């Protein structure tokens, strides 16, 4: 009887070892030219302070930057995000909701929910209120189609001063602040500020 139990145990252990051995060995970031990270785990560790309740992580490629922006429950609503941009940006909501407003006259306005996707061309002013529907936890995944070098290295484990500065904005400062956008010929005037965003009910 004991022999049977021992054999069963050995069989189970062998099966477990085979299962582990069959799994591919995970290679690290940078191997084969590929950069890798778990964006959600990293974002949870990188709270932007001030204002708090807002989390951010990113990873650079040679010509792009991938980013995850997350607001905590009950804390995101009062945090409009307004980023001046010198490159194109794509974004998709994977959790929660964002009231998103954009355009020089604020023409585009929509509540983005899970699966909703936007593409923001360069130099287009945009802003948002996270957790719009119910002050819920909200996660937005974005890619910048140039490397966002101002964010600094992505391996520091800290939120870049550049980003902290961006979310700690001053009302009435112009969103299109980069030289690229300032030098646009016939650049339109911006007619709205964060104050013009609707307020949650």
Interface residue with other proteins among 4, 19, 20, 179 (CB under 8 A) is 19
Should residue 114 be labelled a site residue for other proteins when binding is judged by CB under 8 A? Answer: yes
| C-alpha torsion angle, residues 121, 65, 166, 181 (rounded to 10) | -40
Interface residue with other proteins among 1, 2, 3, 25 (CB under 8 A) is 25
Burial of residue 161 (CB within 10 Å: 0-12, 13-18, 19+) is exposed
In the DSSP assignment, the letter for residue 135 is S
Q: How far is the CB of 181 from other proteins (least distance, A)?
A: 13
| C-alpha torsion angle, residues 79, 80, 84, 88 (rounded to 10) | 100
Q: How far is the CB of 136 from other proteins (least distance, A)?
A: 17
Q: Which range binds other proteins by CB under 8 A, 5-13, 72-80, 94-102, 167-175?
A: 94-102
Burial of residue 93 (CB within 10 Å: 0-12, 13-18, 19+) is buried
| C-alpha torsion angle, residues 103, 141, 73, 49 (rounded to 10) | -80
In the bound state with other proteins, the residue whose beta carbon lies nearer, of 48 and 93, is: 93
Should residue 152 be labelled a site residue for other proteins when binding is judged by CB under 8 A? Answer: no
Taking residues 33 to 72 in sequence order and writing x for each that binds other proteins by CB under 8 A, - otherwise, the string is xxxxxxxxx-----------------xxxxxx-x-x----
Q: How far is the CB of 106 from other proteins (least distance, A)?
A: 7
Report the chain's C-alpha Rg in angstroms.
22
In the bound state with other proteins, the residue whose beta carbon lies nearer, of 102 and 160, is: 102
| C-alpha torsion angle, residues 131, 77, 150, 185 (rounded to 10) | 90
Q: How far is the CB of 122 from other proteins (least distance, A)?
A: 8
Should residue 92 be labelled a site residue for other proteins when binding is judged by CB under 8 A? Answer: yes
In the DSSP assignment, the letter for residue 102 is E
Q: Per CB under 8 A, which of residues 161..190 are in contact with other proteins?
A: none
The answer to whether the CB of 138 falls within 8 A of the CB of 97 is yes
Q: How far is the CB of 49 from other proteins (least distance, A)?
A: 22
Per CB under 8 A, residues contacting other proteins are 19, 22-27, 31-41, 59-64, 66, 68, 88, 90, 92, 94, 99, 102-111, 114-122, 124, 126, 141, 143, 145-146, 198
């Amino acid at each position: 009887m004991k022999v049977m139990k021992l054999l069963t145990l050995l069989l189970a252990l062998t099966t477990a070892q085979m299962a582990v051995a069959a799994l591919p060995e995970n290679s690290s970031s940078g191997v084969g030219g590929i950069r890798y990270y778990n964006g959600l785990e990293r974002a949870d560790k990188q709270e932007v302070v001030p204002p708090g309740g807002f989390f951010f992580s990113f990873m650079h490629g040679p010509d792009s930057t991938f980013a995850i922006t997350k607001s905590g429950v009950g804390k995101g609503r009062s945090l409009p995000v307004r980023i001046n941009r010198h490159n194109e940006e794509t974004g998709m909501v994977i959790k929660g909701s964002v009231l998103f407003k954009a355009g020089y006259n604020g023409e585009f306005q929509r509540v983005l929910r899970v699966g909703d996707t936007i593409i923001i061309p360069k130099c287009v002013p945009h802003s948002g209120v996270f957790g719009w529907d119910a002050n819920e936890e909200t996660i937005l995944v974005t890619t910048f189609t140039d490397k966002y070098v101002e964010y600094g290295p992505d391996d520091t484990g800290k939120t870049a001063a550049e980003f902290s500065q961006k979310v700690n904005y001053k009302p009435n400062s112009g969103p299109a602040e980069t030289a690229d956008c300032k030098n646009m010929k016939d650049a339109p005037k911006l007619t709205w500020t964060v104050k013009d965003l609707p307020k949650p009910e």
